Amino acid sequence: MRSWEGVLARLVEERRGALVRYAYMLTGDRSAAEDLVHDAIIRTFSRARRLDEVHGAEAYVRRTITTLFLNSRRAAATARSKRHLLLARDFPPADEHAGEAPAVAGALATLTPRQRACIVLRFYEDLSTLETAEQLGISPGGVKRHVHDAMARLREELGDWVGDPEAEPVEVTPTKGGGSWPRT
């Protein structure tokens, strides 16, 4: 067995579930997620680069999943078209956030692909703003803007369930007169 085949076998056995979940978070649709992972794995392993360990290969596949998602109007359209199905799904509650899952899925479906990718990378994959920017090939400022816009949209959809996770604390500097309002 060639080395890439060994890495592929381990990747599928150990990490395919996580990859499909990641793709599902981007697309909101299981079938589209499976397609995305399928395409990304084939693309990654078809290229003549060295793939001699699973973690490196997984990083490449994840990056390719993200690029394919952002690059594919079809995947984005699928995510949007499934919104009503996600809202209609009835999951049995299992914890304090359980009843929110369908609503969250529906709310995510209202985001643009870039906004959704930023939210998933920042708050599902737990990447920093800088790492998210690197993954998406955009500036950190672009990531912050997308997250800000996405959060505004999610708040519209979900109300108080979501705050502003990246809100900067506001510093209040007392003025000489003791007032906190700016003078005009």
| Smallest distance from another protein to CB 180, Å | 24
CA-closest candidate to residue 81, choices 114, 110, 102, 120:
110
| 144 binds another protein per the rule CB under 8 A | no
In whole angstroms, give the CA distance from residue 115 to residue 167: 17
| 38 binds another protein per the rule CB under 8 A | yes
Subset of residues 100 to 129 that bind another protein, contact rule: CB under 8 A:
100-101, 104-105, 108, 114, 119-120, 123-124, 126
| 50 binds another protein per the rule CB under 8 A | no
SS3 47: coil
91: which DSSP letter? P
In whole angstroms, give the CA distance from residue 37 to residue 17: 10
| 55 binds another protein per the rule CB under 8 A | no
In whole angstroms, give the CA distance from residue 119 to residue 148: 10
- Say if CB 18 and CB 68 are below 8 A apart: no
Give whichever of 43 and 181 is closer to another protein, judged by the CB atom: 43
Residues that bind another protein (CB under 8 A): 4-5, 8-9, 12-13, 16-17, 20-21, 24-25, 30, 38-39, 41-43, 45-49, 60, 63-64, 67-68, 70-75, 91, 95-98, 100-101, 104-105, 108, 114, 119-120, 123-124, 126, 136-139, 142, 154, 161-167
